[in-house]
Amino acid sequence: MDNLISWVLRAMVILATAYLVPGFMVSGFTGALVLVLVLSLLNVLVKPILFLLTLPINILTLGLFTFVINAIVLQLAMKVVPGVGSDSFKTTLIATLVMSLLSMAVGRMIGK
């Protein structure tokens, strides 16, 4: 049950991000929910490999390159999920930052 609530909250964060970031588009709640599922899979399968490959850059940037890795993973997910898109990589990077901030705020509000 907690996973379902978590997925719904993440989908709502994605919808809020689409509203806040011009150029980042999500077709609706279903598209956001599918994006959450695909992102979850990519975060488990692809993100650790990308993180390991870019570890020296991540160390030099004191972890800030992690946002670029998150944007790359989001770009990959958007290629798979229909109805979700972005105008440019810059827009995806901004959307990633907004999603991170909104997720952190929602997490604090619900006590996670």
Task: Look at the chain and report how many structural domains it folds into.
Answer: 1
> What is the residue whose two structure tokens read 């975060």?
43
Q: Is the pLDDT of residue 102 over 80?
A: yes
Q: How does pLDDT run across 32-84, given as a tens digit for each residue?
A: 999 999 999 999 999 999 999 999 999 999 989 999 999 999 999 999 999 99
CB contact at 8 A, 36 and 14: yes
For residue 99, which of 8, 20, 3 has the smallest C-alpha distance? 20
> Residue 1 has what pLDDT?
64
d(CA 37, CA 99): 15
- The arithmetic mean of pLDDT across residues 81-88, rounded, is 93
Q: Is the pLDDT of residue 112 over 80?
A: no
Radius of gyration of the chain (CA): 14
Q: How does pLDDT run across 7-32, given as a tens digit for each residue?
A: 999 999 999 999 999 999 999 999 99
Local structure of 71: helix, strand or coil = helix
CB contact at 8 A, 92 and 75: yes
Domain that holds residue 28: 2-110
CB contact at 8 A, 39 and 77: yes
- The amino acid present at 70, given as its one-letter code, is N
CB contact at 8 A, 88 and 25: no
> Residue 3 has what pLDDT?
80
> Residue 5 has what pLDDT?
87
